[in-house]
Amino acid sequence: MQVPQDGEDFANQPWYHGPLSRQKAEALLQQDGDFLVRASRSRGGHPVISCRWQGSALHFEVLRVALRPRPGRPTALFQLEDERFPSLPSLVRSYVTRQRPLSQATGAVASRPVIRQGPVRRSFSEDTLLESPAWIELPRARKRSDSQPAGLEHMGRSREDHSGPGASAVPTCALPRMGSDPVLMKTPAPLGSVIDSLRASDGQLHAKAPTKPPRTPSLVLHDASGRPPTYCELVPRVPGAQGTPPGYSSPETEAPWWEANEEEEEENRSFVRPKAEVSFWPPNNPFCLLGPQNRPLEPKVLSTLRDLFLEHHPGSTALHLLLVDCQATGLLGVTKAQRGAMGVASGLELLTLPHGHRLRLELLERHEALALAGALAVLGCAGPLEERAATLRGLVELALALRPGAAGDLPGLAAVMGALLMPQVSRLERTWRQLRRSHTEAALAFEQELKPLMRALDEGAGPCEPGEVALPHVVPAVRLLEGEELPGPLDESCERLLRTLHRARQMARDAPKFREAATRRLRGFRPNPQLREALTTGFVQRLLWGSRGVGAPQAARLEKFQRVLSVLSQHLEPDV
């Protein structure tokens, strides 16, 4: 395929579709290798390469780095991962003709462009100017005068702008001074460009007169360090690139849901009678690692998952699990419609209410499925004894990364500990002996730290302070509210019941604090799409029971898989 070389004017390229929503772009991508370039409104108008790969649509934001205007060099560079290009067409041409992966993490290759039908409504530069949050209004205004070059009604505003309601500031990024007075541009210009625009009355000034620094700053940029605003001669910072390390490229999301869906102001909120039960499960989208139809425990998928988890250290896996648990629990990413339907602001409050029955069932389903998947990771190791001991060590290290003070994901910790304490796993005496011999530190941490911590959390006496904990342990309260009886003598069970109910009330009251703590831990985190998918409840269900078996009743599915685990355990270490 030959990509046209039109330099910076990529609006005429057939693969550029202009402002296009994520959903419409995915509908145009039919086969693996299909790609298009669009302007994403959620990313400030930055170009995004949308590509279909392995049956899924992936989105990659192209970083646009503005440069100081210099003769003979481009005004901006375009970067996807490490290499920078002087124009977007040259970037696309390099990746398409050389069949380079758009990102090393996904391996996605763009090979066939999706041709645009019809003209583009607006160019990328116009979208960037209209939607970029970096523009601010200059504080100084002048009275309009037609005879002076600087006679504009408002500095930094066009002639059509008025100061009435809804008026917004127009960007002014450079104010070249010609002669004695600065000339303020009257129309929007790209960030970092210099416009030599004079009216007819300014003809007495020579066009080639040397420029001087403007008397007023052309753009006030607020530094993250709190220092005073910088002068316009510095290279302006691109809003979309702040906080992004050089060479990094990740699949684009429309808006991080732990930032986009903020809670309404308390004074503006009023109680609305709940309309229906709310589910926080994502829709049944196709999975990258599973086909439309799959059998339970497909060996190829299990091998891919094993390699995927080995590529990530326990701390990274813990953050992935925290991200998915926050969404499944309704702590982060709750939309305004969901808040209105359930009458509260988060799932931590909803699960304590009568109409939270559906959420409680979903959380129990997720806990059981993750625990079974963790046990399968150990019992599915039919190789050497050391391999099973290494898998046990990996689960212990993941539990340590999830504990309070680390990731603080207590539902994830409960699922991993549920796998380690499952009878089919705990009976593997030779495997645990090998763990104590080869990985002594992990074995001691499991016995001396994790087991007492989990016992205290199940009894409602463990740590649950927001900050130390990002997501509290909800399983005991959920089981109690769903009518399950507490084990043990009557007097002890009554005390445990009171502690659990008190912890549930405290958890609902501190939901905003937990939300803040989870957001702090996830700020700047860039998840791996495949690993995040592998930790969702729907994926784990499909993996364990297949596309047909997942529709069976929960009790029947759990009983059947418990028998499967018992058979695997007996096969590994038969009873003497």
d(C-alpha 469, C-alpha 294), whole Å: 37
> Which is more confidently placed, 97 or 211?
97
Query: Which H or E element spans position 544?
Result: helix 537-549
CB pairs under 8 A, 24+ apart, for 77-82? 78/47, 79/246, 79/247, 79/249, 80/49, 80/249, 81/247, 81/248, 81/249, 82/247
**Token digits for 547?**
């596309």
CATH code, domain with 117: 3.30.505.10
Residue 211, in any domain of the structure:
no
Lowest mean pLDDT among 103-112, 421-430, 485-494: 485-494
**Residues of the domain holding 56:** 10-129
> Which is more confidently placed, 479 or 180?
479
Residue 464, in any domain of the structure:
yes
C-alpha closest to that of 232 among 198, 193, 197, 196? 193
Residue 345 sits in the same domain as residue 426: yes
Residue 221, in any domain of the structure:
no
Residue 55, in any domain of the structure:
yes
- Distance set, CA 187 to CA 135, 138, 160, 309, 424 (Å): 14, 15, 10, 53, 72
Give the confidence band of 214 by pLDDT, cuts at 50, 70, 90: very low
Would you call 297 helix, strand, or coil by DSSP? coil
The number of folded domains in the chain is: 3
Lowest mean pLDDT among 8-17, 305-314, 358-367: 8-17
Residue 184 sits in the same domain as residue 321: no
* Residue 486: predicted pLDDT: 74
Lowest mean pLDDT among 62-76, 127-141, 500-514: 127-141
Please calculate the CA angle 24-238-96 and round it to the nearest 5 degrees.
Answer: 50
Residue 215, in any domain of the structure:
no
Residue 173 sits in the same domain as residue 321: no
Q: Which residue has the tokens 């920078």?
A: 84
Mean pLDDT of 291-308: 91
- Indicate whether 13 pLDDT > 60: yes
What are the start-end ranges of the E strands in 154-273? Answer: 177-178, 181-182
Residues whose CB is less than 8 angstroms from the CB of residue 39 and which lie 6 or more positions away in sequence, other chains included: 18, 19, 20, 45, 46, 47, 48, 124, 127
Q: Which of 79-83, 218-222, 225-229, 271-275 is modeled with the greatest confidence?
A: 79-83
* Residue 360: predicted pLDDT: 94
- Indicate whether 414 pLDDT > 90: yes
CATH code, domain with 422: 1.10.840.10
Residue 137, in any domain of the structure:
no
Residue 542 sits in the same domain as residue 442: yes
Give the confidence band of 130 by pLDDT, cuts at 50, 70, 90: very low
d(C-alpha 108, C-alpha 90), whole Å: 18
- Indicate whether 300 pLDDT > 80: yes
- Indicate whether 426 pLDDT > 90: yes
Residue 415 sits in the same domain as residue 316: yes
Residue 216, in any domain of the structure:
no
Q: What percent of the chain has pLDDT over 90?
A: 41
* Residue 229: predicted pLDDT: 39
Residue 184 sits in the same domain as residue 308: no
Residue 59 sits in the same domain as residue 182: no
- Indicate whether 149 pLDDT > 60: no
Residue 143, in any domain of the structure:
no
- Indicate whether 139 pLDDT > 60: no
Would you call 63 helix, strand, or coil by DSSP? strand
Residue 462 sits in the same domain as residue 373: yes
pTM above the 0.85 mark? no
Residue 282 sits in the same domain as residue 425: yes
Q: Which residues of 492-531 are buried (b: 16+ CB within 10 A; e: fewer)?
A: eeebbeeebbebbeebbebbeebbebbbebbeeeebbbbb
d(C-alpha 325, C-alpha 408), whole Å: 11
Mean pLDDT of 463-475: 93
Question: Would strands 16-19 and 47-53 be described as parallel, antiparallel, or unpaired?
Answer: unpaired
Residue 183 sits in the same domain as residue 113: no
Mean pLDDT of 50-71: 84
**Token digits for 565?**
């685990």
Residue 65 sits in the same domain as residue 153: no
d(C-alpha 348, C-alpha 136), whole Å: 39
Residue 99 sits in the same domain as residue 185: no
Q: Tell how far CA 96 is from the center of its chain.
A: 27
Q: Which residue has the tokens 């290499």?
A: 83
Q: Tell how far CA 224 is from the center of its chain.
A: 22
> Which is more confidently placed, 274 or 253?
274
β-sheet with 76-79: strand ranges across: 63-66, 76-79, 84-85
- Indicate whether 437 pLDDT > 60: yes
Q: What does 45-65 look like in DSSP terms, one character per residue?
A: T-EEEEEEETTEEEEEEPEEE
The per-residue pLDDT for range 493-542, each reduced to its tens digit, is 788 889 999 999 999 999 999 999 999 999 888 899 999 999 999 999 99
Would you call 86 helix, strand, or coil by DSSP? coil
Average pLDDT, the chain: 76
- Indicate whether 392 pLDDT > 70: yes
> Which is more confidently placed, 30 or 64?
30
Mean pLDDT of 552-556: 91
